Amino acid sequence: MQVILNGSVAGELLSNESLANYTSWRVGGLAEELFIPEDKAGLCAFLVQLAGSKSLFWMGFGSNLLVLDGGIAGVVINTRGRLKQMALYDGLVYVEAGVPCPHVARFCAEQGLIGAEFLAGIPGTMGGALKMNAGAFEGSTWDLINSVETVDNLGVVRQRQAQEFKAYYRGIEGLGAEWFLAATLKLQTGDRLQSQEKIRQLLAKRAQSQPTNQPSCGSVFKNPEGDHAARLIEAAGLKGYCIGGACVSDKHANFIVNIGAATAADIEALIATIQQQVEVKYGIKLQTEVCRVGRLK
């Protein structure tokens, strides 16, 4: 179903759409409504039309997301492949929320800007990376941010500076009832070829150490201070352990992979088992990095 706003097509509004088609784990129930905007203007116009009448949930790649089997009520807004503008002006890199993080890394390298190479290892969009302060290879998203553009559920757009937020490990404070539309990144100039080679090496390392060819959400658990979740899970003897179609990866113990026909309930049960076993053996309660949303079936 197309939504017409002010005489122009703003995007698609789908009813009872399976979110398993939109998450990297390939699991999840139905969205009561799923809106796919044509662009940023179409998204803002849609929000103005809704006028706060329905609950909203935002997603990009769905790569750090466990949507429960009962699905999500209200409207799910999916920006993957839509809010995709990226440009360089006044020494800053402007990136909309739907741009995949690896694309940002490559674009910055091509411009001779260094410091964003780690984004090549984040399997998500810039909007999600901003929301969770995503990181990889010792780099974190908010280390790069100069300013952001946000929108609220009434379609009001605001420009905000990085210092208005407090970033920490896998999260931020200060967002409130807003969502990210775009960001500007401030980087240092450097050698383009060296930056591109660093990206190549990081991607090779990722492919060697992570199950990139299987459905997963990336890292499931946060690393406890002074240790690594993967080490603890492996030491607990859980590498390769499965519940239903969900298994602890043989390649990286902090990844849970869908080996086929897994449900969100399988993944939840496996997460709980891992937490229980690690706590029993090492006295450490692993905290999840993945965002759990939706209703039980």
Could you list the active site residues? 170, 219, 289
Exposure string for 53-76, b = 16+ CB within 10 A, e = fewer: eeebbbbbbbbbbbbbbebbeebb
**Residue 89: how many other CB atoms lie within 10 Å:** 8
> Which residues lie below 8 Å from residue 6, measured CB to CB, with a gap of 6+?
45
In this structure, which amino acid lies at residue 160? R
Which has the closest alpha carbon to 68: 267, 202, 230? 267
Which bin fits 23, alpha (ψ -120 to 50), beta or left (φ > 0)?
beta
292 within 8 A of 68, measured Cβ to Cβ: yes
Handedness of CA 248, 254, 259, 261 (dihedral sign): positive
Three-class secondary structure of residue 85 per DSSP: coil
CB neighbourhood size of 228 (10 A): 14
| CA–CA distance, 223 with 186 (Å, rounded to integer) | 28
